Amino acid sequence: MLSSPAWVTLEVKYPDRATAFYEAFLELDVVSETPEEAVLAAGDTELRLRAPGTVPRGGLHTHYALTIPDREYDDWYDRLDERFDLVEHTFGDARSLYFYDTEGNCVELGERAVDGDGVTGLFELVLEVEDLSAATEFYTALGFELVDDGRDEGRVRLSTGDLDLELWSPRLGIADARGGVHVDFGVVAADPEAAADAVAGEALSVTSVEEGVRIRDPDGHYLTLVSA
């Protein structure tokens, strides 16, 4: 069983500059920082900013979504609208705003009825894939649940309940966002080894690492399953 996101990694040319951006505009706290990688706390999810040079690499032009309390949404919009050309979209009763960071990643802030202040966590991540049907089979076998089959539109939405995973064919989405390539992310799992075994035959690699079990999917994305 899969549950909450543990981290998502973005590839950045200069981690110190990207860190300054996320500190200034999203008010994220720095957990650790080296010349090669900075880790910031996006609520209960780590945002890792990694310089080129290591494998797994961080994602490029990744679209991802962070939760903010609904009572703060208007304040966030007014503040960011002074600096960015925001795009807004409504999903049912929930609003989201979109803008771009310094590396071309599309950041979404979505309002939710959550406790806490500021950014409280990651709720959506978009991966670019070559074969939607094959990728959907891979991630459902891994433990994600199919919640919206939009293959005719070039997209599929899956979920653990705590994290929504969008699989996109190469395309532009809302705010001209794109799915990330070679994304590195982590998800909490009740039994990482058993979940990894379910896709071992289709994965490019399955490796035990310090943080859990790292899987490289058929499109080159890296997912690490972390023990609950």
pLDDT over 70 for what percent of the chain? 100
pLDDT score, position 34: 96
Locate 6 and state its tokens: 């543990």
| pLDDT over threshold 90, residue 45 | yes
Average pLDDT over residues 191-198: 96
Residue 50: is its pLDDT beyond 90? yes
Torsion of CA 160, 165, 166, 170, to 10 degrees: -140
CA nearest to 53, candidates 11, 97, 96: 11
How far are the Cα atoms of 47, 177, 196 from residue 199, in angstroms, in the given order?
Answer: 26, 29, 6
Percent of the chain with pLDDT over 90: 97
- The number of distinct structural domains making up the chain is 1
Q: What is the pLDDT of residue 123?
A: 97
Query: At 152, which CATH number?
Result: 3.10.180.10
Residue 54, pLDDT above cutoff 90: no
Q: Is 55 exposed, middle or buried (0-12, 13-18, 19+ CB in 10 A)?
A: exposed
User: What value does the mean pLDDT take over residues 157-184?
Assistant: 97
Q: How confident is the model at residue 228 (pLDDT cuts 50, 70, 90)?
A: confident
Give the CA distances from residue 98 to residues 16, 51, 71, 108, 114, in Å, rounded to whole numbers and listed in that order: 23, 24, 18, 5, 20
In the chain, helix, strand, coil percent, each to 5?
20, 45, 35
Write out pLDDT tens, residues 118-128: 999 999 999 99
Give the pLDDT confidence of 86-125 residue by residue, as tens digits: 999 999 999 999 999 999 999 999 999 998 899 999 999 9
E-assigned strands of the chain?
2-11, 29-33, 37-42, 45-50, 63-69, 87-91, 94-100, 106-112, 121-128, 145-150, 155-159, 164-168, 184-189, 205-209, 212-216, 222-227
The pLDDT score that the predictor gives to residue 3 is: 95
Give the other-Cβ count within 10 Å of 140's Cβ.
15
Q: How many CA atoms lie within 13 A of 39 on its CB side?
A: 9
Domain that residue 158 falls in: 2-227
Q: What is the pLDDT of residues 5-41, one digit of tens each?
A: 999 999 999 999 999 999 999 999 999 999 999 999 9
Say how far apart CA 176 and CA 87 lie, in whole Å. Answer: 10
Mean pLDDT of 54-73: 96
Give the CA dihedral 79, 106, 60, 172, nearest 10 degrees. -160
Per-residue confidence (pLDDT) for residue 133, from 0 to 100: 97
